[in-house]
Amino acid sequence: MEVPIDFVIRYGSATDPNLLRAYAERRLAFALRRFENRTRYVTVRFDDVNGPRRGVDSRCAITLQLRNGRRIDAEAMTAWPYASVTLAAKRLNAAVRREHEKARTRSSTHIERDREFQLGVRDFSICRMADR
């Protein structure tokens, strides 16, 4: 993936940061492969919320900056950092897909409005009925 990824790892000695970074890069490459041309950069943050006390405490927060200026955030908290990355990447993929679908719907609505304006409202409704 050719998109720059910025990592912030605040984690204890339980996990090797280089392995965690490599795993996150692999998961994000898979999750964002379809949307690479729309992505400006990605920031991944890892936190060990409870410190050495264990429990559900590994948090992964991913921020995706799109080329159109919009920002999408996804977060996951699990007991293991690798599971947090996987879940956050999955949530990010779903959010980017939703954003992409919204943009497609908005652009098709604008095309329809332009056609309506060019033909006039009355002629457009006749064309719409003929399309059925």
- What are the beta bridge partners of residue 59? 47, 77
Q: What is the mean pLDDT of the chain?
A: 79
Domain ranges of the chain: 5-97
State pLDDT tens for residues 11-20: 665 578 888 8
State pLDDT tens for residues 62-113: 999 988 888 999 999 998 889 999 999 999 999 999 988 887 776 665 555 5
* Distance, CA of 56 to CA of 48 (rounded, Å): 9
Q: Which CATH superfamily is domain 5-97 in?
A: Ribosome hibernation promotion factor-like (3.30.160.100)
Instruction: State the DSSP string of 111-122.
Output: HHHHHHHHH-HH
pLDDT value for 105: 77
State pLDDT tens for residues 98-107: 988 887 776 6
pLDDT value for 99: 87
**Which helix (H) or strand (E) segment is 85 a member of?**
helix 81-119
State pLDDT tens for residues 45-60: 988 887 767 667 889 9
**Which helix (H) or strand (E) segment is 72 a member of?**
strand 71-78
pLDDT value for 48: 83
